[in-house]
Chains A and B, each alone.
Chain A
Amino acid sequence: MYAVLWRVLPGPIWVRIILILILLLAVLAVLATWVYPWIDGMLNSQEATVGGP
């Protein structure tokens, strides 16, 4: 899976490493902005009230 990604990326090794880092940051940004807030809303893992919902 990741081996395929590595082969698909163009250029010499250092270009590929930079590209991978950019992709990784993009994935993290998407997670932190949309995915994790959504999951957080679904989980309701942190209740702080007594007799709460």
Chain B
Amino acid sequence: MCPQADDSVESVTKRPRRVKSGKITVVGVLGELLITAGALVLLFLGWQLWWNDMIMANSQSSAASAISQDWIDQDTATPEPVPSTDPAEPNAEPAPVDYGAPIVATAPANAKAFAVLYVPRFGADYHRTIAEGTGHDVLNSNRLGIGHYDGTQMPGEVGNFAIAAHRSAFGGGMHLINELQLGDAIYVQTADGYYTYRYRDMEYVAPSQVQVLASVPNHPDASAVDRIITLTSCNPLYSTAERIIAYGVFESWHPLSAGAPAELAPIIAAQG
């Protein structure tokens, strides 16, 4: 009686153990698929906001270096009068030289690079290519990154030179736009020279507010007198609910042959 009872207990406890280890259940597979899907979504976010962002930032940065260096090399290839500024004292504040009205280029074809942006506040080694147009072919490109709004003015032109870049992901060309402080330099280098703007103010607008691109920002009917640069990106960080808009005012212009402004020269030298 007793041994028999023991046997039956053993067989009862054995059976579920075998089922647990061997059989594939629908619920089990479903659970594993859901966990896998969750992991894939998290991995995507990590890829988009960190891994790919880093890779794109690096490639955009080195593409910008190459363009900038090309212009400088081409310029020195053609004989130019030696600039009067003293290269022996790069740190000394040079007497302001008037180079006249800045050269204004005509806007190039879509997705064609025509300028390099330097913003020391975004990091000493920050430099990105500005290309024509604000489509995905420019903003999501791994060699461009910053787009110039079609129909807005060009660097140095009276009116509004308006550009856009991603705040996060795709190289995050304007990741630190909210860190700008009054008077911060915003340099634009083109094949013609260096345009220095100074950061003036910032505002947060709805994505539909295109008046910020007007030649007098927010006053579409006014006629432009000042030379403005407008940087647009998304806000808040990692969201696209709003746009963050930073304005700068034109300060000075240096022809390429005259060399970069004092603060910018070491930054350009460092990327060579």
Interface-side segment among B6-14, B103-111, B204-212? B204-212
Chain A neighbourhood of B47, CB < 8 A: 31-32, 36
Is there contact, CB below 8 Å, between B174 and A48? yes
In the complex, A44 Cα to B140 Cα: how many Å? 10
Interface residues of B in 223-249 (CB under 8 A from A): 232-234, 240, 243, 245
A22–B212 alpha-carbon span in the complex (Å): 51
B31 to chain A, nearest CB (A): 9
Q: Which of A31, A46, A52 has the most CB of B within 10 A?
A: A46
Cα A50 to Cα B218 with chains together (Å): 13
Inter-chain CA distance A22–B234, complex, in Å, is 39
- Chain A: minimal CB distance from B16 (Å): 16
Residues of A within 8 A of B (CB): 1-4, 28, 31-32, 36-37, 39-41, 44-53
Q: How many residues of B contact A (CB 8 A)?
A: 40
**If A46-B240, A52-B207 touch, does A31 touch B43 (CB 8 Å cutoff)?**
yes
Query: Are B205 and A46 closer than 8 Å at their CB atoms?
Result: no
B209–A53 touching, CB < 8 Å: no
- Are A48 and B48 in contact, with the CB atoms below 8 A? no
Do A47 and B207 contact each other (CB < 8 Å), given the known contacts A31-B40, A32-B47? yes
Q: Does B254 contact A (CB under 8 A)?
A: no
A37 to B140, CA, bound (A): 11
Contacts A31-B43, A50-B209 given; does A44 touch B234 at CB 8 Å? no
Q: Is the interface of B mostly helix, strand, loop or mixed?
A: mixed
**Would you call A45 and B240 a contact (CB within 8 A)?**
yes
Min distance, Cβ B57 to any Cβ of chain A, angstroms: 14
Q: Assess the A49–B240 pair: CB atoms within 8 A.
A: no
The answer to whether A52 and B134 touch (CB under 8 A), given A1-B33, A2-B32, A46-B170, is: yes
Contacts A31-B43, A48-B167 given; does A53 touch B212 at CB 8 Å: no
Residues of chain A within 8 A (CB-CB) of B52 are 32, 36-37, 40
- Decide yes or no whether B159 CB sits under 8 A from chain A: no
Q: Are A50 and B33 in contact (CB under 8 A)?
A: no
Q: Is B92 an interface residue (CB 8 A)?
A: no
State A37–B44 Cα separation when bound (angstroms).
9
Q: How far is the CA of A9 from the CA of B245 in the complex (A)?
A: 56
Residues on B with C-beta less than 8 A from A47 are: 207, 234, 240
Chain B positions within 8 Å of A28 at CB level: 43
> Given that A1-B33, A36-B44, A53-B135 are known contacts, is A48 also in contact with B164, CB under 8 Å in the complex?
yes
